[in-house]
Amino acid sequence: MSYCVNPDCPQPKNPIDAFLCQACGARLLVRNRYRVTKSLGQGGFGATFVAIDVSLPGEPICVIKQLRPSNNHEKFLRMARELFEREARTLGKIGNHPQIPRLLDFFEERRNFYLVQEYVSGHTIHQEVKQMGLFKEEKIHDFLIEILPVITYIHSQQVIHRDIKPANILRREQDNKLVLIDFGAVKNYVAQVETPEGVEQGSNTQFAVGTSGYAPPEQLAMRPIFASDIYALGVTCIYLMTGRSPKDIEYNPSTGEMMWQNHVKLSKHMTQVLGKMLEVSVRYRYQSVEEVQRALQTTTVAAAPQAGLPPRPVNSPKNPLPLGQSPLPGVPNNPNAPPAPATSAAKRMADKIREQRESRDPTNIKNGGEPSRFGADIRTGIGVPAIQPPRREQLKQDAQSVLAAFRRGQRNFHELDISGLDLSKAHLPGIGLSNANCAYINLQGANLAAGKFDKADFSGAVLKDTVLSKGYFSYANLQNADLRGADLSEAYLNYANLHGANLCGANLKGVKVTEEQLNQAKTNFMTVFPNGKRGGFW
């Protein structure tokens, strides 16, 4: 069969030996050498066909991509010509890779633009999921191990693909290898640009390209970088494991993050790898494919022989050390030394702290004066920032006691230990927690408006979607706290420790805070900054 490529043809199918289309009269041989045999699909910019090259012996099969401008205005023709010339230059530059189709020809004919590429027989991984089922973790790992070197290669050529998705990755029939196709959205110039998050690789483009759901925010904002392809590859992995299009997976309306974790079953390490690939904020995403590859190699090396088993002791019979060599770093080797004691240095330190604290006799408001039996909290005893002043022995409370006391009218819970408590969705406006230990507390969705939190330790706390407006956090420790979607409007954060705090999607309008502090925290395009602008800065 001969297929007519005239966009306006009412009946494009013709007999194999026809020279002119029987329906519209157009010539069927494109550029007098390519006979189109069938259509592969159509999109917003044009169509793709399978053809044979009748000018060569054996009439080899090829793929022809035709750009059909939406109108004949010179502006649109110029844009169309730019797209195709860009793809042609890029394919000519990178087409020597065995897992990228080679460019065979490029031309313009009757105001249509044509790319002729090597034909790859096979199926897309989108079709593979439909036909063979979802990918498990091991298959996702193998998929990444194979496709990442291809992306490394195109990035080494200063090329950003910008449209990585399941439909653009083929599994070649002859050798089962993955092949990356469709470079129509490529960006082949990368430059240093200054952004609110620092200097990064990027480039302005005249129009946003890519597929909705797979393209990250900076690409949709016409600032694609190498990490944009990493995000798209992460979304591709989610599709392969769930069979769900990105538009069918919930997004956090405050942070813009895809809520994919509940749809897959993965090891902790693979969850972390994919999570970093899918970071909405470029600053916290993997910056290069090599970083992803190293993380995956760490997954392989760190995997236990059997799931759930603890790592083998350093000096076990199956891992013998040379005679006299100490398994502890920094301890000198001594051939005559006795075996190292089982008690670790960290445990000895914790025991010493516990003995010192238990020697005291503070009054406990919960048990009416009985000496406290709570030992040292190792989580908060390590890494306390320098701005934290020494605090007195704190009195441990439970969630019900705090809620009951608040209902009775008590508002001051200063210097108490409420670390690790679950107070999610609690209604505690105006609460006073000055100098309190609130490490790892769960206050998700709670209302703590106009609270007093100066010198309090909120390290590792869950404050997601929490109302903290007009709160006073001077000298508070919010290191690694989860503040995604939190309302911190008009809060006072000067001198607070925000190192590693997650402020993605948080409302910081009118907040008293320095640029240096925010540079230590995690923000994204959904964060409302002190000037009231979303995704901007100051």
Phi (first) and psi of residue 431, to 5 degrees: -65, 145
Phi (first) and psi of residue 14, to 5 degrees: -140, 160
- What are the Cα distances from residue 536, in Å, to 284, 317, 515, 524? 17, 58, 12, 9
Phi (first) and psi of residue 520, to 5 degrees: -85, -15
Structure tokens that stand for 289 in this block:
């494919």
Inter-residue contact 54 to 29 (CB < 8 Å) = yes
Inter-residue contact 20 to 28 (CB < 8 Å) = yes
Residues contacting residue 31 through CB under 8 Å, at least 6 positions apart: 105, 107, 109, 114
Phi (first) and psi of residue 30, to 5 degrees: -75, 125
Inter-residue contact 189 to 203 (CB < 8 Å) = yes
As a three-state string, the secondary structure of 466-512 is CECCCCECCCCECCCCECCCCECCCCECCCCECCCCECCCCECCCCE
How far, in Å, CA of 494 to CA of 502, rounded? 17
Residues contacting residue 476 through CB under 8 Å, at least 6 positions apart: 453, 454, 455, 456, 457, 458, 493, 496, 497
Residues contacting residue 71 through CB under 8 Å, at least 6 positions apart: none
Q: Crossing angle of helices 268-277/137-156, nearest 10°?
A: 30
Inter-residue contact 242 to 260 (CB < 8 Å) = yes
Catalytic site includes residue 163: yes
Structure tokens that stand for 487 in this block:
């309302």
User: From the candidates 53, 163, 377, 465, which is the catalytic residue?
Assistant: 163
Beta-ladder partners of 14: 2
Strand locations in 128-264 (E): 169-172, 178-180, 191-195, 198-202
Where in the sequence numbering do the catalytic residues fall?
163
